[in-house]
Amino acid sequence: MSDEPRQEVATGRVRRRVGGRRLRVSIEGRPRQGVAPLLLINGVGAPLELFEPLREALGDRLTVAFDVPGVGGSPTPLLPPTMRGLARTVADLVVEVSRELAAEVGTERMDVLGLSWGGALAQELAHSHPRLVRRLVLAATMPGVVCVPGHPVVLAVMASPARYYSPGFLRAVAPLLYGREVRTHRERFERHLEVRTMLAPDPVGYTYQVSALARWTSLPWLCQLDQPTLVLAGDEDSVVPLANARLLARAIPGARLHVERGGGHLFLLLRAEEVAPRIESFLGEPTG
């Protein structure tokens, strides 16, 4: 492939010291008065660049993305963090960025979208720091270790970051992990694959992320979340079966569920142009 996409990946990223950690953060879009920024939290081992299809589909909406410690340009911590500890770091990021943007957007809260592993962290953020989260979008995610598991072979592949280091291996396992969408959206998946292998996570950082999720569940307190919530899921997701989305939508008061027919685990990114208007519509509703 050409060098042009590689140059795009490297631009507009800044390292910040946030709550005692260094995070690589990207802020894109146009601030608008009265419109909360949208914080994007990615899946396990995934750098912020993988959100580019969604950010492009959202147009000039102001979005904030970051690399979790141990991923992309964020250094790996010495000790394995907990989901609550990671949520505290993200809360510090939200506070810092919101203060910088407050005059332009008129609010110090953010809307939060979490994808897969990032959806778990988004739930913890909304629970532990509710005053920072205006609306919540949970995509292809689950309530933690107490969930409906994917196929054992799929989970075995996901437990290792090997797919980040070998394009050939990722191509071989992609239909198993991500379904038929990787064929129907081949060009976008190839770009996704390139970014994954260019910005592979630190193996220790990846293990820390898996370990944090394995020690965490949101089930005891989902009924306490009071942020308006949209749950998005694909009915062909072999990593996080649809039953998990139904569980989240039932447990979170007033939550809405949208199912992408034929959608696999990466539907949010591979079908970004189709899903983005639904997200925009939900975020644009008045919060009473």
Query: Looking at the annotation, which residues are catalytic?
Result: 116
Secondary structure of 52-67 as H, E, C letters: HHHHHHCCCCCEEEEC
Closest by Cα among 81, 93, 83 to 39 = 93
The DSSP bridge partners found for residue 22 are 17
- How is the beta sheet containing 63-66 ordered, strand by strand? 14-18, 21-28, 63-66, 38-41, 110-115, 133-139, 229-234, 256-260
- Give the integer Cα–Cα distance in Å for 237 and 178: 7
Q: Which residues lie closer than 8 Å to 152 by C-beta, 6 or more apart?
A: none
- Give the integer Cα–Cα distance in Å for 13 and 10: 7
